[in-house]
């Protein structure tokens, strides 16, 4: 199956006070690490969704897509990636954020293993991203609006546990915790 990764990296990082996408965790930026992990999972193409004027650097093969509607929230970034996946004729996508150091290539591969149904990650007694969506779910993803993303679409979906998945880097405290626990996405 031809599956893409949609890396959500268009956030403004208001709570952190600096662009989290370019923050170093070990010797690579958060977005660089996310692209590398998605690449290792065999996801191709990898779409990195950014806001207008945003400068993001990464070395792994990926395609940057500028989300002109980034101020709307997460749903507009999802739509930007799904539009690209639709144009490229892909069979499914894994949607993930650039600030979750617990993701692994193995977890991303397992999410998409079935191929025909939505599969979310579970952590902290809830479901969230990374999540896999088959092409049959693209019309629903294209209808999303606002900043809550695909939460309603994954509410009843099957899920796979993602240890430490609740750690996303939104504050200086989150970043300090990630740097204590992880280096290059690997638990210390």
Do 113 and 78 contact (CB within 8 A), yes or no? Answer: no
- 10 Å Cβ neighbour count for 133? 28
Q: What is the pLDDT of residue 19?
A: 64
Report the mean per-residue pLDDT for the chain: 88
Tokens of 174: 């989150």
Among the listed residues 134, 126, 133, the one whose alpha carbon sits nearest the alpha carbon of residue 161: 126
Evaluated on CA atoms 122, 37, 168, 134, the torsion sign reads: negative
pLDDT tens-digit map of 91-120: 999 999 989 988 999 999 999 997 899 999
Q: Tell me: the pLDDT tens digits for 35-46?
A: 999 999 999 999
Task: For the chain, list the domains and their CATH numbers.
Answer: 3-187 (3.90.550.10)
Q: In whole angstroms, give the CA distance from residue 102 to residue 104.
A: 6
Look at residue 172 in the predicted model and tell me its pLDDT. Answer: 79
- Indicate the Cα dihedral angle 146, 150, 152, 157, nearest 10°: 180
Residue 181, preceding bond cis, omega within 30 degrees? Answer: no
Cβ-based neighbours of 138, under 8 Å, separated by 6 or more? 82, 85, 86, 93
Label residue 11 by pLDDT band (50, 70, 90).
Answer: confident
Question: Which tens digits make up the pLDDT trace of 163-184?
Answer: 989 988 877 788 788 877 766 5
Confidence of residue 188 (pLDDT cuts 50, 70, 90): very low
The 10s digit of each residue's pLDDT in 116-155 is: 999 999 999 999 999 999 999 999 999 999 888 899 999 9
Of 19, 47, 23, nearest in space to 33 by CA = 23
Whole-number pLDDT of residue 13 = 58
Q: E strands within the chain?
A: 3-8, 24-25, 28-29, 46-50, 63-66, 92-97, 119-123, 126-134, 158-161, 182-183, 186-187
How much is the pLDDT for 109?
96
Does position 33 have pLDDT exceeding 50, yes or no?
A: yes
């Amino acid at each position: 199956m031809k599956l893409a990764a949609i890396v959500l990296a268009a956030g403004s990082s208001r709570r952190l006070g600096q662009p989290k996408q370019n923050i170093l965790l070990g010797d690579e930026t958060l977005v660089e690490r996310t692209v590398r992990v998605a690449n290792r999972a065999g996801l191709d193409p990898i779409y990195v969704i950014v806001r207008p004027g945003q400068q993001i650097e990464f070395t792994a093969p990926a395609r940057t897509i500028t989300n002109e509607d980034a101020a709307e929230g997460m749903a507009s970034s999802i739509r930007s990636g799904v539009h690209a996946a639709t144009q490229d004729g892909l069979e499914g996508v894994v949607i993930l954020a650039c600030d979750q150091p617990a993701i692994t290539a193995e977890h991303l591969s397992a999410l998409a293993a079935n191929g025909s149904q939505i599969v979310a990650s579970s952590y902290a007694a809830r479901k969230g991203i990374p999540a896999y969506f088959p092409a049959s779910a693209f019309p629903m993803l294209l209808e999303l609006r606002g900043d809550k993303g695909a939460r309603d679409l994954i509410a009843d979906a099957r899920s796979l546990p993602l240890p430490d998945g609740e750690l996303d880097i939104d504050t200086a405290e989150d970043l300090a915790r990630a740097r204590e626990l992880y280096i290059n996405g690997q638990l210390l």
